[in-house]
Structure 1
Amino acid sequence: MYEVIHAVVPPLLKAIWRPRVLGLQNVPKDGGVILASNHLSFVDSVVIPSVAPRKVVFLAKSDYFKGSGVKGTAQRLWFEGLGMLPVDREDTQAAIDSLETALEVLGRGEAFGIYPEGSRSRDGRLYRGRTGVAHLALTAGVPVVPVGLVGTERIQPIGSRYPKVAKVTVKFGKALDFSGRGSGVPLGRARREVTDEIMAAIQMLSGQEPAGVYNDRAPDA
């Protein structure tokens, strides 16, 4: 199903939005890699896989995979076709389970997409990154490619039911290698420092104003 959806969706989206894509050469052609991006819109998880030079796996709410009837089946096939995997956000074990799922993806030599902010930004600022991204990078020993999205919030503004045509830019930064960063310092400190470096790289690409705090809004995208 991925091959079918991916053969149709990316060309269609590129024809409609004509995104400006920079730095594709920075994404490794093979091997495990993390694509860490800012998060502005529900469509971010469609835009990135559509322009990336290889398959990118994202996690999505398990509710999207549980619908019944024709609509539910179509929705499930759509998300599966985009390479997304279900995660139960209401489960207290969700965070741990999602990290384990991500490590499995990286262990298979695939690309995993993550939003260190946790939830999409509702005011356009870049929120402080949570350290799950550093946990993945240090545990799996894979590089991190920072991604800066610009303009995706205009495709489907908060409260809008249908997408709009808007100018979008996707910037893939140079891969960050954190090999050996977890040795000689407390693990918590290492994860915090790595996460902050990743967020700084994302900010340079996106040009967003740093919020300096965590985004504590309930995740809805």
Structure 2
Amino acid sequence: MNFNYSYKAFLVTSLLVGNLILLLLLVKLDGNPTPEVTTVPVEYTELLPEEEPLALATPQEQAVVKTNTAYNEAETFIREVENERNAPFDESESEETQNLDWDGMGVKTDFNQAQKELQKTKRTLAEAAKKKAKTSAKSVNRKTTMTYQLVNRTALYLPNPVYTCEGSGKIVISIEVNALGKVTKANYNGTLSTTANGCLIDEALAYANESRFNTQGDKPKQLGTITYLFPGQE
């Protein structure tokens, strides 16, 4: 009888201890949950090729661009300062404005400096325009006087030279004309000419070769001259 009670007590104790251990294991497992693994998609961005730099402008074009840029910046700065000076007066800011006195004269100094730079830029642009006009004027020439000697022939086309040569003088070109009135040969005649200016000679030869005369069937080869009197540039 005592053995049965002891055996039952042992079984009950064993069951309680087992349940306690199982409960502790469950609590421990619940307290350390398995971390979830999250995946983040990786995006691959294609690198665009760098743009090639623009071709460098000529030194003259760069100078003009820099001058115009400086002019625009100075003019913009002055306009902004003028707008601030002409803005409506705010009494709440009067005391602060008096204390600042135009930001310690710094803004006023910048304004005056910008005005000086603007005037300097204007003078630079004016000088550049004057030089350009002067250069263009040099390329203008007065009307060239032309005469020709070709017996019983009439000039159908005798172009007036448009040239940019420096200098003046008379250039005589000896020509040979065929039966169709076309100039087949043209040579500089130094004996009759009054100048040996290479530029004027080249222009005279070029225009002489373009000249045309009336046809003359009985004269397959006729000699003559074309005289160009270059008055020089104005």
**Greater gyration radius:** 2
Report which structure shows greater RCO (CA 8 Å, sep ≥6).
1
Q: Which has the higher helix share?
A: 2
Same fold (TM over 0.5): no
TM-score, normalising length from structure 1?
0.17
